[in-house]
Structure 1
């Protein structure tokens, strides 16, 4: 049977009188003055959502803006019988999910570009603009969290064994490594009781050295070399840049998990810096600056080269398991960067070194 219908071509809003016939696997649409159109029944869909309640049956064809409306109940029943996929979405649900996936993918791409390209550049700009006093206070707040996370307490005491502001033994050694820019970037070195062979620079000139590194180092010159490398990070504002990036990321995800300015941010920053998650370019820049600091202070950069060679020989392919090497260049490469004899060598006093090494006890 032929049923009266209204056809719209999807270009203009004007409806044109038409007739529709259910012809096997097709709906044949006849519009006055035009050639008959054949819509495959498998491509015909209900143009209204399932919850819509209206006497008119409005149809659409997949991949087209064309519409067909029928008002007759008998016609609607015949068309529903001829088009078994009428209630399906675009391609079995693709009509609903396609825009969601497209917009969702675009949003993920924008967020990814922000975190990958925009945020690092922005973090560097912000790091240079932060007042040094604020930067130093922020770094000091991270020390207890790191000590609690990986440090070992003794009895009711703290995992922090001492720092260069209050321990004359450590102060004397740190004084040998202070760069000329120390009046701009004050240093405070902390020693934390922990088996980690690691040291970490924090914003504002704070440097945490773990007792595991003191146990592994064989001389004060090796410790001085590690400190010089971390001081290089401090002078280049790397910890502050990374802290800003981590705080931004933590705050972003905190919007979804309900913690925007509390433990999530500080915990995320401390964890990131503890893992030394700098780029290799940052690590190489800190190595170069550290070697210069050692040479200008009469300390032998080759001591740190020996430290890396011994660490590489002991752990071989396990370097990636050490926190100190999470993103650092390979030990042999770093050893070569420090294998430069200075014009003058004034080693760290052995007794001074042994005194610092005993700060956390045996």
Structure 2
């Protein structure tokens, strides 16, 4: 049984209390719970101004000031460190000077390679990593090209987390949330340039003549592009009356909306994992998303659990939507859920993570 310390070195800008962080960062709990269920001995240590210890689902969560991390390493003596975020690797050299042989795994959290003048510092920091986890191995390429990863560092494929969402009957979910449309498409994500909702609107406008009852329901946090989107909808008769602005909704309500919808749509240019897509698969909701590495990894080859379309290409979205809607509803929902159960469920995901731990510990 590998003895692993999952390390969160990110300083919370909101300075939340540990109990609040446990609620607001469900990925932290999912990561630890799934690894423990798959056989690892796990302890989670997170940087926090307030020192507290919590035990949830049999896992200890220690919130400590940064200055106390070395003492915790000395006391618990893990076999392996699993660090959240490649950028957090910069904090490792001074922390680990006393444990030069302790293996380290880094997990991508939407990190971007640094500017060239910082490459040397990053190379020194990331040299400690025995392995790096990305949702798709191709995401490591920019780091390899810049020489930021050690030549011997292993690249592992693993999504950023799993989900506890599950399928529900569509009609019952629609009765609860009021969703309509044949098909009803769901957007969950920021309305910003990276998510590219304007291209999504273009694709839906192209498909609308063939799908007269098409509706789009939008859940979003940041709303930078809402004025442009509203202007686009108002100016195009193919879109008027089809777009519903739900704004920010509680996370639990997203599960009901996913059960009520017919497909999830996203236009992302870049994602580390795409948790919304993962949650959609858990709910048996087929994703209709861009052909980027993270989404390819989640949907499987060749997009067995949904449809992929080219970034920035509205016509591609329209054709993908029409293709998906030609499939029987039961078949497309079954494919989405099957993909989740086989590769992305908490059990399957935890087994993959522990297999990575075991591989990293081999001499």
TM-score relative to the length of structure 2: 0.20
TM-score relative to the length of structure 1: 0.20
Task: Mark the structure with the bigger radius of gyration.
Answer: 1
Q: Which has the higher helix share?
A: 1
**Larger RCO (alpha carbons 8 Å, 6+ apart):** 2
